[in-house]
Amino acid sequence: MEESINFVNGYGKVNPSDDETTSLPAQSPPSNRRKSIAVIVSLLFFVAIVAATIGATVVHHRRSKPSESQSSSVKTTDSIKAVCAVTPHPESCFTEISSIDSDNNAVDPEIIFNLTLRLAVNELSNISSLPKTLISRSNDLRTGSALRDCATLFDDALSQLRQSVESMRVGTPAGEEKVVLTEGKLGDLKTWISAAMTDQETCVDGLEEMGSTAVDEVKMRVQRSNEYMSNSLAILANIETLLDKFGLHLH
Ligand SMILES: *[C@@H]1O[C@H](CO)[C@@H](O)[C@H](O)[C@H]1NC(C)=O
Ligand SMILES: *[C@@H]1O[C@H](CO)[C@@H](O)[C@H](O)[C@H]1NC(C)=O
């Protein structure tokens, strides 16, 4: 939208320079002068069109299409891309969020942040039974004790993330549910998500210290949730800039 307005303004600026060409020294015969004015004007016009086209294509890409025909999936695609761009794993961030956003709700940074947390919660729930499974397979006592620690740490990580999701949940008078980030909540969210990441690291470190054979499998399985959490933290770290881009601000 902004770019198309600038385009109109920029285009308008062709006219003042028009006046300048009109006031060129009146030495050449009138017909030649008129011709050269016409050439200059059409050159300026051409340059303006080219500049506007390049600008619209480069800067705005999909949004320069008429908004009427814009499907909501195009809007969410752009929104998810813009938000994922600040994360350490923009591509997988985009793919994963798109895949769970079946209702095309991902229109703003708060909702997209909520989705990255959902991915992390899903993944952590999925791996919370892993230590138990590994314990049942292992008869090494030292590994067993490290794995029991992991079970506790994974539970803690999961509750940190669930707490994060809950803290943003706000009911509207219309009975709908919204995700609301406030300045005050930002600090808590960073603390909780970082704590969940530390829980996972502590588990892996413990297994490594014990020289556990389970360490590689656990490392592999926590990789994704780790990635989702680091994406979440990156979004939080950039949330004000991101909201600004969407014409929004912290509540
Ligand atoms: C935020 O995420 C939670 C948990 O995944 C979900 O239940 C809730 O509906 C989401 N809220 C919005 C507004 O998307
Ligand atoms: C849970 O983990 C298993 C084993 O890695 C995987 O096959 C499955 O797809 C995962 N489920 C979800 C919902 O991520």
Over the stretch 28-67, which tens digit does the pLDDT of each residue have?
Answer: 455 666 666 666 566 665 556 555 655 555 444 444 444 4
Which residue, among 169, 36, 35, has the nearest Cα to 114 in the 3D structure? Answer: 169
162 lines ligand 1 (CB under 6 A): no
Kindly list the protein residues whose Cβ atom lies closer than 6 A to any atom of ligand 2: 122, 126
Separation between Cα atoms, residue 159 and residue 35, nearest integer Å = 76
* Closest Cα to atom 3 of ligand 2: 126
Q: Is 48 helix (H, G, I), strand (E, B) or coil?
A: helix
What is the pLDDT, as a whole number, of residue 48?
60
Task: Annotate 139-165 with b (16+ C-beta within 10 A) or e (fewer).
Answer: ebeebbebbebbbebbebbbebbbebb
Task: Quote the ligand 2 centre to 100 CA distance (angstroms).
Answer: 14
Q: How does residue 169 score in pLDDT terms, banded at 50, 70 and 90?
A: very high
pTM across the whole model:
0.72
The answer to whether residues 153 and 203 touch, using CB atoms and an 8 Å cutoff, is yes
**Residue 6: pLDDT above 90?**
no
Q: For the residues 115-134, what does the mean pLDDT come to?
A: 96
**Residue 128: pLDDT above 50?**
yes
Four-residue CA torsion sign, 81, 83, 85, 91: negative
Over the stretch 189-216, which tens digit does the pLDDT of each residue have?
Answer: 999 999 999 999 999 999 999 998 899 9
Residue 169, H or E segment: strand 169-171
111 lines ligand 1 (CB under 6 A): yes
* Closest Cα to atom 5 of ligand 1: 118
**Residue 21: pLDDT above 90?**
no
Domain ranges, ordered by start, for the chain? 2-67, 72-245
Q: How does residue 5 score in pLDDT terms, banded at 50, 70 and 90?
A: very low
Higher pLDDT pick, 215 / 251: 215
* Closest Cα to atom 11 of ligand 2: 126
Weakest-pLDDT range from 121-125, 173-177, 234-238:
173-177
What is the pLDDT, as a whole number, of residue 33?
67
Task: Quote the ligand 1 centre to 228 CA distance (angstroms).
Answer: 16
**Residue 18: pLDDT above 70?**
no
Q: How far is CA 160 from CA 120, 194, 202, 205, 238, in A?
A: 11, 9, 15, 20, 21
CATH code for the structural domain at 72-245: 1.20.140.40
The answer to whether residues 115 and 101 touch, using CB atoms and an 8 Å cutoff, is yes
* Closest Cα to atom 14 of ligand 1: 111
Over the stretch 70-121, which tens digit does the pLDDT of each residue have?
Answer: 567 778 999 999 999 999 999 999 999 999 999 899 999 999 999 999 999 9
Q: For the residues 127-137, what does the mean pLDDT come to?
A: 94
Which neighbouring-strand residues pair with 66? Answer: none
Higher pLDDT pick, 25 / 96: 96
